[in-house]
Amino acid sequence: MLTQHRVLVLNSSYEAINICTAKRAILMLLSGKADLVENAGEEVRSPTFRMTLPEVIRLRRYISLPYRPIPYCRKNIMLRDGFICQYCGEQFSPDELTLDHVIPISRGGHDSWSNVVTACKHCNHKKGNNLLEELGMNVLSRPRRPTLPTFLHLVRVIGKKRDVWRKYLFYDDDEENEAVV
C-alpha cells in the first residue's frame, strides 16, 4: 500500500513539483522536511506508530526548479482537460474528442492555450461558429496554459486527476492567458 499510493509534493510556495510514494512522503514528514497538507482519510499503522495516509505534502524549504514551458499541441490540451468535453462534462477517448476554439478564429479568436478546449463532436457541432454567450453555453474550466510539466506527468502516471490535487496544480496567468470566457 505504501509503495502503490501516490502523494503530490508541493514546494514551500505551494507549487506542485513532483509525486512520490506514500512511503517516501511519510519519511519526509517524519524527518521534518515536509508538512502534511491533505490526507487520504486512511490510517497507516504499525505496532508502535500511527498516522494518517498523506495525499498532499509541502516541503518546508523552497527548491528552485528550471522553467520549461509545456508545448501547445492537441495531446497536451487533451491531457490538460482530462479527456473531458469542456461543454457537457462527459469523458471521452481521444478519438471521440475534437479541439474547439472558444472564440472562433473567424470571429477574432486565436490558436492558444487560453482559447482552445476539448469538446465532444456533438457539442462542437452544436457550438459551431458561435460565441458561448450566443448559445447560453459555458466552459467547465477556464482554459489556461499549465505551468508545470508535473501536471502532465500526473495525468500520465495516475491516469486520472485526483480532485484533492487539482487545487494545487497552479496555472500561469501571463498576458497570453487573459480570460476569454
Domain positions in the chain are 6-59, 69-147+168-181
> Residue 71: which of 157, 152, 174 has the closest Cα?
152
Mean pLDDT of the chain: 85
Query: Residue 158: is its pLDDT beyond 70?
Result: no
Residue 146 β-bridge partners: 171
What is the three-class DSSP state of 89? Answer: coil
Q: What pLDDT digit, counting tens, does each position of 38-68 carry?
A: 998 899 998 998 999 999 999 999 999 877 7
Identify the pLDDT of residue 172: 44
Identify the pLDDT of residue 4: 80
Q: What pLDDT digit, counting tens, does each position of 127-149 carry?
A: 999 999 999 999 999 998 876 65
**Residue type at position 24:** R
**Residue type at position 26:** I
Residue 46 β-bridge partners: 49
Cell of 71: 508545448
Stronger pLDDT, 59 or 15, i.e. the higher one: 59
CA distances, 116 to each of 10, 30, 35 (Å): 28, 43, 37
How much is the pTM?
A: 0.54
The distance in angstroms from the start CA to the end CA of the chain is 42
Helix, strand counts (H, E) of the chain: 6, 6
21-41: average pLDDT: 95
20-28: average pLDDT: 94
Stronger pLDDT, 10 or 66, i.e. the higher one: 10
Identify the pLDDT of residue 152: 53
- Top-level class of domain 69-147+168-181: mainly alpha
Q: Using CA atoms, how far apart are residues 128 and 151, in angstroms rounded to an integer? A: 30
Q: How many CB atoms lie within 10 A of CB 4?
A: 8
Q: Using CA atoms, how far apart are residues 28 and 157, in angstroms rounded to an integer? A: 21
